[in-house]
Amino acid sequence: MARQRKVRSIIVLPDARLRQVSQTVPTFDQNLIEQFADMEAAMRSGPGGVGIAAPQLGDNRRIMVVDCTVARHSCRNHGLLHLVNPEIIEHSGDDVLGREGCLSVPDWIGMVSRARIIRLKYQDMQGETYEMEASGFEARVIQHEVDHLDGILFIDRVVSTHDLVRRMG
């Protein structure tokens, strides 16, 4: 019988660790793999979780998990992604307004402008370097999670404070 992973608590505002710039990952080892498993479990435990960054679990490394296959609306995506040292190297297309929420800012949603298409450079869990293009909802999620790695929250990017509202239910 498989052992159940204890789900770690997600850090929420006003915890100052959410505002720190994350450090580059130099070592690709079992600890990194375990952190990805912890992050994925925490992301899946939250309502509507489609992405999570290491700082949300108190880890100051540049790692994140994205899985748009579980999104409420269908979108073209790359499936479950484990991204190490991600860097947006290009963005294009019109900026698109969209409603965002965050596991670390529970009960709030807001309208945020994001690029429609991005090109991302990243490493996998073994340290191999790749590039990928993402668009639409998946690009939005990746931009949101990269912001976490830079100490930026979606509430810093809302178009207007009038667009930041308390989520009902």
Domain assignment present for 11: no
Maximum Cα–Cα distance across the chain: 50
Sequence letter at residue 60: N
Q: What are phi and psi of 150, to 5 degrees?
A: -100, 10
Residue 44's Cβ-side half-sphere holds a number of Cα atoms within 13 Å equal to 13
Please indicate whether residue 145 is annotated as part of the active site: yes
pLDDT score for 3: 53
Domain assignment present for 24: yes
Q: Read off the tokens for 60.
A: 């100051």
Domain assignment present for 1: no
Domain assignment present for 27: yes
Q: Between residues 29 and 48, which one has the greater pLDDT?
A: 29
pLDDT digits (tens, 9 = 90+) for 92-149: 987 888 999 999 999 899 999 999 999 999 999 999 999 999 999 999 999 999 999 9
**What share of the chain in percent tops pLDDT 90?**
75
Per-residue pLDDT at 17 exceeds 90: yes
* Mean pLDDT of the region 41-51: 88
DSSP three-state, residue 108: strand
Domain assignment present for 8: no
What's the CATH code of the domain at 143? 3.90.45.10
Domain assignment present for 79: yes
Give residues with Cβ within 8 angstroms of 33, minimum separation 6. 125
State the residue for tokens 């298409």. 117
Domain assignment present for 9: no
Number of separate domains in the chain:
1
Among candidate residues 90, 131, 133, 145, the one labeled active-site is 145
pLDDT score for 169: 55
Residue 20's domain spans which residues? Answer: 16-166
pLDDT score for 149: 98
pLDDT score for 1: 47
d(CA 116, CA 137): 8
Domain assignment present for 144: yes
